[in-house]
Amino acid sequence: MSSKPKTLATKEEANPARVPKLRFPEFRAEKPWEPTTIGALGNFYYGKSAPKWSLSEDAPTPCVRYGELYTKFGPVITETYSRTNTDPETLRFSKGGEILIPRVGEKPEDFGKCCCYLPLKDIAIGEMISVLETKQHPLFYTYYFRHLHKQFAKVVEGQNVKNLYYVELEPLAIHRPSIPEQQKIAECLSSADELMAAQARKVDALKTHKKGLMQQLFPREGETAPRLRFPEFRDAGEWGDQTVGDFGKVITGSTPSTAKPAFYGGGIPFVSPADISDLRFVDQTKTTLTPEGFAETRPVRSGSVLFVCIGSTIGKVAQSVRDCATNQQINAVVPSSKHSDGFVYFALSLAAERIALLAGRQAVPIINKSLFSSVRMLSPKLPEQQRIAACLSSLDALIAAETRKLEALKIHKKGLMQQLFPSLEEGTA
C-alpha cells in the first residue's frame, strides 16, 4: 500500500480544475481531462422488479436488490446474496460491466457512496436501481461517482423517501481522462480495496477467535466450571454462584441540570449510550462536565464497567478509562477488591445478550437497578479472574492495533481518491 504513492507525481497545470493533483508518471505529459457529462458516458436504464416475496434460497435466478447496495457490497459486486422466483421474461439481466446506482434511499449522500460495479453476467437487477452501461472503464467511474457523492446528493429529490432519478444525473458535468489512465486509477484504488478487505478479514478473524475463547474460558449455561482452564487452576474446583451486585457496587447514572451551563464543557467525561461503541474502552465523550457539574452526579472510578440498561441499545457494554459520570440509561458496576475490573467487563460482555432479554417487550426497554443487580453470574477466585482478564485483554490490544491499521488504510484511500480525481466544483469553476 505504501509503495503506491511513490509511483505518482504532483502535476501543476495552467488549468488545475481539469487535472488531478496526482498523476501516474506515464500520464504527466497528457492533456487535461476532457469535459463531459455523466449522460455522455453511456446509456441509463432502470432495473425491474424482484420483490421480497419472490426471494428464496432455492430460487433459480440470482439477483441484486437496491437495499443490498447499501448493506452488502463494496465498490465491486463479486457475489450475489439473493435469488428470485420472478419470471425471467419480466426481469433485466446484466451483461457484465454495468454501474449500479441506488434510486431510493434515506440519506442524500449515501446514493453516490453506494455506487457499485457489477462485472458478473446474467444477474437480475432489481427495480429501484439505476443502471449505467458504458464503453468507458466502469470501475473507474464507480470510484469517481463515489468520490462525487456530495454532488449526487444535490440532485436527490423527496422528503421522507429520497429518490435519485438518472435523468437528474445525466446533465452533471464531470471530466474524463483517457481509457488507459482510467484503467490505471481503477487498478490503484482496487488494490487499496483489496488491502482493506484483507485487513478487515484479519480483524474479523481475531474477533471470532476472541469470541470462541471467551466461550471456553467461561462456564456454559448449566455448567459451573469452564471447559478450558489455565494449568494452575485446573484443580481449583467450581466457580462460585454470585450476582452482578456481588461483583461490586452498582451505580445508576444521573444527569446534571442542563439549565446550568456552568455544569458542562469541562474535561470530565459524561458517558451516554452514544459514546459506547464496539470498542472496549470509553475515554472521550460527546458531552463533558466541569468539576461543578461532576459534583452533581454519581461518579464512578476508572475501570468501572458501564452497562446500558435503558433504550434501543440496551446491552451495550464498555469500560471507563478515567473517573467519569454516566447518564441514567447506564448502570455502572464498580468492582470490589475481590473482583478484577477486566474480568467483570468480560463476564458482563458475555452475558449481555442474556441480560438484555430481561427488558422484555415494551415501548422503552428497561432493566432497573434492582433487576440488573440480581442477575446470576459465576465467578472464580481473584487470581483466576486476573489470569482470564490478562489473556483476553492481550487479544483486545491486538484487535485494537489491527483495527487502527484498517482505519489508517481507509484514511489513506480517501486521501488518495481526493488526489486522483478533480472535484466537480473545481471542474465547473
Q: Judge contact between 8 and 23, C-beta under 8 A.
A: yes
Nearest to 288 by CA among 257, 305, 267: 267
Query: Do 125 and 257 lie in a common domain?
Result: no
Q: Show which of 176, 211, 226 is a domain's final residue.
A: 176
Residues 6+ apart with CB under 8 A from 253: 271, 297, 298, 325, 326, 327, 328, 329, 330, 331, 332
Average pLDDT along the chain: 93
Q: Tell me the residue type at 48.
A: K
Share of the chain above pLDDT 90, in %: 90
Confidence class of residue 14 from pLDDT cuts 50, 70 and 90? very low
Q: Residue 329 above 80 pLDDT?
A: yes
CATH code for the domain in which residue 91 is found: 3.90.220.20
Q: Is residue 80 part of a domain?
A: yes
Which secondary-structure segment (H or E) carries 343? helix 341-356
Residue carrying C-alpha cell 482478564: 389
Q: State the total domains in the chain.
A: 2
Give the domain range for residue 79. 34-176
Domain presence at residue 221: no
Task: Report yes or no on 29 lying in a domain.
Answer: no
Could you tell me if 258 and 372 lie in one domain? Answer: yes
The predicted-structure confidence for 69-87, as pLDDT tens digits, reads as follows 999 999 999 999 999 999 9
pLDDT digit string, tens, across residues 162-220: 999 999 999 999 999 999 999 999 999 999 999 999 999 999 999 999 999 999 999 99
Is 20 within a domain? no
Boundary residue ending a domain (352, 379, 406): 379
Give the integer Cα–Cα distance in Å for 111 and 153.
7
For range 227-244, the mean pLDDT: 96
Q: Is residue 416 part of a domain?
A: no
Among the candidates 176, 193, 211, a domain finishes at 176
244 lies in the same domain as 148 = no
What is the 8-class DSSP label of residue 363? S
pLDDT at 399: 95
Which pLDDT band holds residue 49 (cuts at 50, 70, 90)? Answer: confident
Residue where the block lists cell 472503464: 137
Residue 6 has pLDDT above 80, yes or no: no
Residue 8 has pLDDT above 60, yes or no: no
Q: Which three cell numbers stand for residue 31?
A: 492533456
Within this chain, do residues 167 and 257 fall inside the same structural domain, yes or no? no
Cα gap 152→328, rounded to integer Å: 41
Do 253 and 358 fall into the same domain? yes
- Residue 425: the pLDDT is 55
Other CB atoms within 10 A of residue 227 CB: 11
Cell numbers representing residue 24 in the block:
501516474
Assigned domain for 89 exists: yes
Residue 210 is given by DSSP the state H
**17 in any annotated domain:** no
Least confident of 10-14, 43-47, 75-79, 420-424: 10-14
User: Quick one: 155 and 244 in the same domain?
Assistant: no
Same domain membership, residue 39 and residue 162: yes
Instruction: Assess whether 59 and 149 both reside in one domain.
Output: yes
Do 133 and 256 lie in one domain? The reply is no
pTM: 0.84
Residues 156 and 247 in one domain: no
Say what the pLDDT of residue 5 is: 39
Beta-bridge mates of residue 307: 317, 331
pLDDT per residue as tens digits for the range 260-288: 999 999 999 999 999 999 889 999 999 99
Note whether residue 79 is domain-resident: yes
Summarised one tens digit per residue, pLDDT across range 346-379 is: 999 999 999 999 998 888 899 999 999 999 999 9
Shared domain check, 52 and 130: yes
Mean pLDDT of 222-228: 95
- 128 and 254, same domain (yes or no): no
